[in-house]
A and B are shown apart, each in its own frame.
Chain A
């Protein structure tokens, strides 16, 4: 009757932890050499710190919230970058530098949460389809294909209309329209692992399905999923910018929202480039960063690519 803490730190678990750390170290030593991967990672660190430090670095949030239209009372409207306003002000006098800093939060939150939903759904379906095989596989794959075939943007627009326009709904909508992709990848990986020797041996010994999945299949599938996750995050941020630009997002400050406000506020006609450039550029850079990191991770973890 060992205490819970002791059982948590059981020798088996400790061993597993050590292996995990060792794997992590190996991963990192390989990753270090991938220049684009490092660049991507650096950019991510930059954005994450931007998101955290926004309240400190952002200007003028004592009077009104950064998004308030009342800034027009005190700030010049639609003014070019200056000493007071590093990125200038928008149509309602809001400081664009501050807004851009805060916008990083929305993008990161969407990326993480939407992909979390997608991963959970996708992995669930993928593992079930791959492992259970035959008719289950057929059925689940048909359903997956079905969702893949529906054009995502119109579907998202309809969902947004149905569920209302808010930030959480954007996250949900992206999550539930991107799981098929994950499901497919997971399924094919599960299929290839299923026939591997150690799994067959496990079955011979008589281990239950659930144990097999947990102990043998998941550890081999998860690394691949991890790489896909990062790419999924890039995709989520991409989709989020679309939805918000179309006006389907909520009130939370995000780069997509800023671009939407710029479009409605005729920034493009007034050539107010300072309103467009920061959010636009940052979206691209953030997506690229995730993409590069994802590609680098994929190269390292993907057994097929490892040969090179």
Chain B
């Protein structure tokens, strides 16, 4: 078993690395296809040829695509991701990312944990009470929130909160005096600013998880071995906990992995609406400003995150589902 696992592990890891390579390449070409020239972005009011030459050299644009590509890959391995050209002119992309990424990590991280647990519990309870009133009401709520576009919910919530609780921080990442606070104060401050966006981001994920858990649990509950278990005399909740849930959880694991990608995308809307300075917001800024070094880096980050989420999900599935063959 262990040997199989490590074979599987390395095989999948290899795939991940190959995919990352293809993504890097895709990234590179995608942004070279952008309609604007780098120099034109940087030079708002016109400059002469000599300056353009100097700039081309500075950014390495005077080299052939192949050379640039090699540079790009090499730089990536070294952690050099270039310089921003319009979002924060002249700043290193890594510096810019260092400011925005932690915010999103907090938001998405906490949000996903919350969503998984709440969603699974809700899904489980409604599946267990399938057909009864609790299930019907619950499922209706799930469907409504699943079908609701994220930004709508966020906007309505924003509207209500600013109207009824004007002193609650509804926009931004942290408060004025953030830097003057001690560690504890900083944590509290962050949490306050994070609550609303996280809630908006996560409401849909909760609905999604609930639906998946519910349907997969219902699937499991109809399996033959479940009826056998009951016939053998096992008690209700015990059956649920020991036999049904573990099997039902397998699709949930996959869903969590897929969801990471979704949540990263959804965060763009939420972050714009709540002026929360995270990766999504940076993506938006960078795309509009045609700041392709930043865009490349952000795309990379997001796809790699999804890749690894999937990878981990695959590993977990392998360990937990005896039916999966290498």
- Which residues of chain A have a CB within 8 Å of any CB of chain B? 142, 145-146, 148-154, 157-158, 161-162, 234, 238, 241-242, 245-246, 259, 263, 268, 271, 276, 280, 283-284, 287-288, 291-292, 307-308
CA distance A245 to B310 in the complex (A): 29
A-contact 0/1 string along B231-272, CB 8 Å cutoff: 000000000000000000000000000100110111011000
B34 contacts which of A146, A149, A162, A246 (Cβ < 8 Å)?
A162
Specify which chain B residues have a CB less than 8 angstroms from the CB of A288 in the assembled complex: 143-144, 147
Q: Indicate if B303 sits at the interface (CB-CB under 8 A).
A: yes
A242 with B269: CB separation less than 8 A: yes
B30 with A158: CB separation less than 8 A: yes
B284 with A157: CB separation less than 8 A: yes
Specify which chain B residues have a CB less than 8 angstroms from the CB of A152 in the assembled complex: 261-262, 265
B158 with A146: CB separation less than 8 A: no
For residue B148, which residue of chain A has the nearest CB? A284
Interchain Cβ contacts within 8 Å, total number: 105
CA distance A106 to B298 in the complex (A): 32
Specify which chain B residues have a CB less than 8 angstroms from the CB of A271 in the assembled complex: 159, 163
CA distance A152 to B299 in the complex (A): 11
In angstroms, how far is the closest chain A Cβ from the Cβ of B140?
Answer: 9
CA distance A146 to B262 in the complex (A): 15
A150 with B147: CB separation less than 8 A: no
Interface segment out of the listed B15-23, B39-47, B53-61, B84-92: B15-23
In angstroms, how far is the closest chain B Cβ from the Cβ of A250?
Answer: 18
Specify which chain B residues have a CB less than 8 angstroms from the CB of A245 in the assembled complex: 149, 151, 269
A154 with B152: CB separation less than 8 A: no
For residue B150, which residue of chain A has the nearest CB? A242
A283 with B144: CB separation less than 8 A: no
In angstroms, how far is the closest chain B Cβ from the Cβ of A80?
Answer: 16
In this complex, how many residues of chain B approach chain A with their Cβ under 8 Å: the count is 44
Can you spell out 21 A-B residue pairs with CB atoms less than 8 angstroms apart? A142-B15, A149-B307, A150-B299, A150-B302, A150-B303, A150-B306, A151-B303, A152-B261, A152-B262, A154-B299, A158-B30, A158-B287, A161-B287, A162-B33, A238-B147, A245-B269, A259-B152, A271-B163, A276-B156, A287-B149, A288-B147
Query: DSSP class of A's interface residues: helix, strand, loop or mixed?
Result: helix
With contacts A146-B23, A149-B307, A307-B222 known, is A284 near B287, CB below 8 A? no
Q: A152-B262, A241-B151 are in contact. List 8 more A-B contacts (CB 8 A).
A: A148-B261, A150-B302, A157-B283, A161-B34, A242-B269, A245-B149, A246-B269, A280-B156
Q: Indicate if B107 sits at the interface (CB-CB under 8 A).
A: no
A-contact 0/1 string along B151-190, CB 8 Å cutoff: 1100110110001000000000000000000000000000
Specify which chain B residues have a CB less than 8 angstroms from the CB of A148 in the assembled complex: 258, 261
- The CB with the most chain B CB atoms within 10 A, among A145, A151, A288, is that of A151
B310 contacts which of A149, A246, A276, A283 (Cβ < 8 Å)?
A149
A146 with B143: CB separation less than 8 A: no
